[in-house]
């Protein structure tokens, strides 16, 4: 999970860049590097492995620059080695990058055919080459940056040095976060407040699509259309700099917005965009697995339910799934060849841990999809399938959930390939589709204002029903859980086909029904169920995509998420569903981050 720091300083920056990179270590990385301007020229120092390796390089060859950028790289495009480590350079441009440039292959081909020569396998170098080409064509740095950003597809953050512009660092964010730090005669860019925490507590959070130029004393910020903007300056307390809310009112809101980054970093641990391959960490051989047993609680259980659709349809693997509190006492027969997968954000949930231990004691191979990598489950499972959501503070799980879904989706592709149910071409297609998820999640968050407008009405409801089909039925369960836990409104989720077997009796004018229905092969069936609700006067909010919206009957409220492949639809629809619960809870004045009676880590039965 890449980290970024940039310093326009008045004293040598090498040690401060390293200090900041150490603070970013928690994100995970496999190489690190820094660059700085020395006598008008940019110099780089990079090393594979940990920051200690970079320190050793710097002991032999110190960097005396007072303006510099630094990076910890979590390899996505290209192996973790020195050549692929950031900063990446092309001509006058040297930059660091967090994220994925989805259209890098197409851009690289174009740049190569215009005579540009690449030295690394990274998608990052494409940004450097593009920007250098714009500068070479005579554009001023900010114009060149805007022209470059306009050509990129994907979710990313960057920090850039340009030779000849020695007291300036450029930055940009889309999908991945970037902050500006204001010091005394010095300015900073960083992936988060933690990165710039040792140097300043005065921080501005860039908005989606912003780009920026910092010099010794100021930041010129522009929005995605190139309009100069100001972003509010925040004073971040020392402890808040460890895990901070940024411009957000609640951690939950921030964590919903963290999801493009969290999912991308998680997916990068499983998917190689260059080879198009999906890999299960820990050497798990899915061709030898005959069955999967998933064990989890709450939201993590719903992530498991979503993944069942993929493991079964893509990898043809039978999946059993239980809530951990039932599983541990159920005494199910042990079926050899079963891979037991526990799913947990905290890695400490008592029931899930007991399920893991029970499976281990039965001699089953155990794997933990876990966000806290030092947790008990991470230590005790045979294999860790990591999620890289970063610390989740809001009690209601959001980014950990989507990261779990992302990890499990990638594993389903790996399993499908290992078991011969998809060929290399289809594996590469699915890999590419999953890697687009971050950008689509970032887009789906853009419906925020439309969702906020629904909150005042919904907040008056006593009961709310959610329904969907396929993986969306599991998202309906998750949506209902989110709403009830933070707004205290009674909510239930159902598989749409189940409505007429009971829940439809609850429908009346005062019971809002949330329908989650992308325009997939089940869309029409869900629409029929929706008509049954409408016929009984139930007010509907339909979450769908562009195509689905065309078929929406008049008189219902419609929220349109981006169009997506079935495999990523649960990730794309999750954020709008979470935002709905969030804004209803805010409307009700509830304690969003610490709902009554709930704990973040349930370490008792």
Binding residues for ligand F6R, rule: CB under 6 A, are 297-300, 344-346, 349, 352, 396-397, 481, 485, 601-602
Question: Shortest Cβ distance from residue 357 to ligand F6R (Å)?
Answer: 14
Q: What b/e sequence results for 184-213 when a residue is b if at least 16 CB atoms lie within 10 Å of its CB, and e otherwise?
A: eebbbbbbbbbbbbbbbbbbbbbebebbbb
- Spatial neighbors of 279 by CB under 8 A, at least 6 apart, are 270, 271, 272, 414
Q: Which residue, 93 or 602, is less far from ligand F6R as judged by CB?
A: 602
- In the chain, DSSP finds a helix count (H) and a strand count (E) of 20, 27
Q: Do 285 and 330 meet the contact criterion of CB atoms below 8 Å apart?
A: no
Question: Shortest Cβ distance from residue 283 to ligand F6R (Å)?
Answer: 25
Q: Which residue, 396 or 533, is less far from ligand F6R as judged by CB?
A: 396
Tell me which of 110, 452, 525, 600 is the catalytic residue: 600
Neighbour tally for 364: CB within 10 Å: 20
Q: Do 530 and 484 meet the contact criterion of CB atoms below 8 Å apart?
A: no
Phi, psi of 398 (to 5 degrees): -130, -70
Q: Establish whether the linkage from the previous residue to 593 is cis, with ω within 30° of 0.
A: no
How far apart (Å, rounded) are the C-alpha atoms in residues 236 and 200?
9
Nearest to 278 by CA among 321, 244, 314: 314
Question: Shortest Cβ distance from residue 481 to ligand F6R (Å)?
Answer: 6
Q: Which residue, 87 or 570, is less far from ligand F6R as judged by CB?
A: 570
Q: Do 123 and 73 meet the contact criterion of CB atoms below 8 Å apart?
A: no
DSSP E strand boundaries for 16-153? 31-38, 41-48, 67-73, 88-90, 93-101
Helix (H) or strand (E) holding 161: strand 154-162
Q: Which residue, 200 or 299, is less far from ligand F6R as judged by CB?
A: 299
Question: Shortest Cβ distance from residue 336 to ligand F6R (Å)?
Answer: 27
Q: Which residue, 339 or 400, is less far from ligand F6R as judged by CB?
A: 400
The answer to whether 525 is a known catalytic residue is no
Q: Which residue, 113 or 597, is less far from ligand F6R as judged by CB?
A: 597
How far apart (Å, rounded) are the C-alpha atoms in residues 564 and 590?
33
Per DSSP, helices labelled H in 91-177 are 104-113, 124-136, 141-149
Q: Which residue, 20 or 346, is less far from ligand F6R as judged by CB?
A: 346
Q: Do 297 and 325 meet the contact criterion of CB atoms below 8 Å apart?
A: yes
How far apart (Å, rounded) are the C-alpha atoms in residues 401 and 393?
13
Q: Do 548 and 517 meet the contact criterion of CB atoms below 8 Å apart?
A: yes
Nearest to 383 by CA among 371, 363, 367, 365: 367
Question: Shortest Cβ distance from residue 491 to ligand F6R (Å)?
Answer: 13
Q: Do 559 and 543 meet the contact criterion of CB atoms below 8 Å apart?
A: yes
* Nearest residue to the partner ligand F6R, using Cβ: 298
Helix (H) or strand (E) holding 482: helix 471-487
Q: Which residue, 66 or 349, is less far from ligand F6R as judged by CB?
A: 349
The answer to whether 600 is a known catalytic residue is yes
Which two tokens mark 429? 């297609």
Question: Shortest Cβ distance from residue 598 to ligand F6R (Å)?
Answer: 8
Question: Shortest Cβ distance from residue 136 to ligand F6R (Å)?
Answer: 50
Tell me which of 2, 263, 297, 359 is the catalytic residue: 2
Q: Which residue, 323 or 506, is less far from ligand F6R as judged by CB?
A: 323
Question: Shortest Cβ distance from residue 352 to ligand F6R (Å)?
Answer: 5
Question: Shortest Cβ distance from residue 248 to ligand F6R (Å)?
Answer: 17
Sheet of strand 202-205, all strands in order from the earlier edge strand to the far edge: 41-48, 31-38, 67-73, 3-8, 187-190, 179-182, 202-205, 233-235
Q: Which residue, 247 or 601, is less far from ligand F6R as judged by CB?
A: 601
- Cα-Cα-Cα-Cα dihedral of 428, 430, 435, 440, to 10°? 140
Question: Shortest Cβ distance from residue 527 to ligand F6R (Å)?
Answer: 29
Question: Shortest Cβ distance from residue 602 to ligand F6R (Å)?
Answer: 5
Q: Which residue, 264 or 345, is less far from ligand F6R as judged by CB?
A: 345
**∠ CA 564-566-571, rounded to 5°:** 70
Q: Do 343 and 315 meet the contact criterion of CB atoms below 8 Å apart?
A: no
Q: Do 469 and 494 meet the contact criterion of CB atoms below 8 Å apart?
A: no
Catalytic residues: 2, 600
């Amino acid at each position: 999970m890449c980290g970024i720091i940039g310093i326009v300083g008045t004293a040598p920056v090498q040690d401060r860049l390293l200090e900041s990179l150490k603070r970013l270590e928690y994100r995970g990385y496999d190489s690190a590097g820094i660059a700085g301007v020395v006598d008008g020229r940019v110099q780089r120092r990079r090393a594979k492995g940990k920051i200690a390796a970079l320190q050793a390089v710097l002991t032999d060859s110190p960097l005396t620059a007072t303006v510099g950028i630094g990076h910890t790289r979590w390899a996505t495009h290209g192996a973790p080695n020195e050549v692929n480590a950031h900063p990446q350079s092309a001509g006058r441009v040297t930059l660091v990058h967090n994220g994925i440039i989805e259209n890098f292959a197409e851009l690289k081909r174009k740049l190569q055919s215009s005579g540009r020569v690449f030295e690394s396998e990274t998608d990052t170098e494409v940004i450097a080459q593009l920007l250098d080409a714009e500068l070479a064509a005579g554009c001023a740095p900010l114009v060149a940056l805007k022209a470059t950003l306009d050509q990129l597809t994907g979710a990313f953050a960057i920090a850039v040095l340009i030779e000849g512009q020695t007291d300036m660092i450029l930055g940009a964010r889309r999908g991945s976060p970037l902050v500006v730090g204001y010091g005394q005669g010095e300015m900073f860019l960083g992936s988060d407040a933690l990165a710039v925490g040792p140097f300043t507590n005065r921080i501005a959070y860039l908005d989606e699509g912003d780009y920026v130029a910092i010099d010794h004393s100021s930041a010129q910020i522009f929005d995605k259309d190139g309009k100069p903007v100001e972003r509010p300056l925040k004073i971040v307390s020392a402890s808040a700099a460890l895990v901070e809310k940024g411009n957000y009112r609640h951690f939950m809101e921030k964590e919903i917005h963290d999801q493009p980054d969290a999912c991308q970093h998680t997916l990068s641990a499983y998917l190689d965009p260059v080879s198009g391959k999906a890999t299960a960490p820990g050497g798990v051989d899915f061709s030898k697995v005959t069955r999967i047993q998933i064990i989890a609680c709450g939201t993590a259980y719903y992530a498991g339910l979503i993944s069942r659709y993929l493991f079964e349809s893509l990898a043809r693997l039978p999946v059993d799934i239980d809530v951990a509190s039932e599983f541990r006492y159920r005494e199910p027969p042990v079926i050899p060849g079963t891979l037991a997968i526990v799913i947990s954000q905290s890695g400490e949930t008592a029931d899930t841990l007991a399920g893991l231990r029970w499976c281990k004691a039965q001699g089953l191979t155990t794997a933990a999809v876990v966000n806290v990598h030092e947790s008990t489950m991470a230590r005790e499972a045979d294999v860790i399938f990591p999620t890289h959501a970063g610390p989740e503070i809001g009690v209601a799980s959001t980014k950990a959930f989507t990261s779990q879904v992302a990890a499990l989706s990638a594993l389903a592709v790996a399993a499908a390939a290992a078991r011969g149910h998809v060929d290399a071409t289809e594996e590469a297609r699915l890999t590419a589709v999953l890697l687009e998820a971050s950008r689509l999640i970032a887009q789906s968050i853009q419906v925020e204002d439309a969702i906020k407008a629904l909150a005042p009405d919904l907040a008056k409801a006593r009961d709310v029903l959610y329904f969907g089909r396929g993986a969306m039925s599991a998202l309906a369960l998750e949506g209902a859980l989110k709403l009830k836990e933070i707004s205290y409104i009674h909510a239930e989720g159902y598989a749409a086909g189940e409505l007429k077997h009971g829940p439809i009796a609850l429908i009346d004018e005062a019971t809002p029904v949330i329908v989650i229905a992308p325009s997939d092969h089940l869309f029409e069936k869900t629409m029929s169920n929706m008509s049954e609700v409408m016929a009984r006067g139930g007010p509907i909010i339909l979450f769908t995509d562009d195509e689905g919206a065309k078929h929406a009957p008049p008189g219902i409220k419609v929220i349109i998420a981006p169009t997506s492949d079935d495999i990523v639809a649960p990730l794309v629809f999750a954020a709008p569903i979470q935002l709905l619960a969030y804004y209803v809870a805010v409307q009700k004045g509830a304690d969003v981050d610490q709902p009554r009676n709930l704990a973040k880590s349930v370490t008792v039965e």
